[in-house]
Amino acid sequence: MAAQAAPAAAENRELVLTRIIDASPEALFRCWTDPELMKQWFAPKPFTVPVVETDLRAGGASLIVMRDPDGNDYPNPGVYLEVVPNKKIVFTDAFTEAWEPSLKPFMVATVTFEDLGGGNTRYTATARHWTVADRETHEQMGFHEGWGICADQLAALAATL
């Protein structure tokens, strides 16, 4: 049997965005779990989000479709791995519905909402990739800019709830 290379350390395969947001964990969680609210912030403008389908439970499927200004759709099917109300959401594109493996797993995302008191929340979004190359691709795609814009849009919406 051939020896396999050890996987790269987790920190070499992850991208992290952290913000202190002036909104409660409950408001942020609601923005992440209510399909109508997700449509308002989930893609960096001028992209839109015409479709959000969620089955918010471990093993539940999700489908989020982002649309660019030219009308091209980018479907993002996935599965929730863990959902802790007002605290944490973990999801992956490694599976589509009913634990059906996807053609190309890319990442596992973990979003946490840490109550700091006074109506403030530490919001952390972590994307863990299968390979360093996947992480590099995601970084080149604009992870920090795109996810940062979305975090700003999320904060603005959560502040209205």
Architecture in CATH for domain 18-158: 2-Layer Sandwich (3.30)
What the block records as the tokens of 53 is 């389908």
Residues 6+ apart with CB under 8 A from 7: 13
8-state DSSP, 16: E
Q: Which of 122, 117, 126 is nearest to 28 (CA)?
A: 122
Phi and psi based region of residue 90 (left: phi greater than 0; alpha: psi -120 to 50; beta: remaining): beta
Residue 141 burial (CB count, 10 A): 9
Containing H/E element for 60? none
pLDDT of residue 134: 94
pLDDT (tens digit, 9 = 90+) per residue, 32-51? Answer: 999 999 999 999 999 999 99
pLDDT (tens digit, 9 = 90+) per residue, 93-113? Answer: 999 877 889 999 999 999 999
pLDDT for 78 beyond 80 = yes
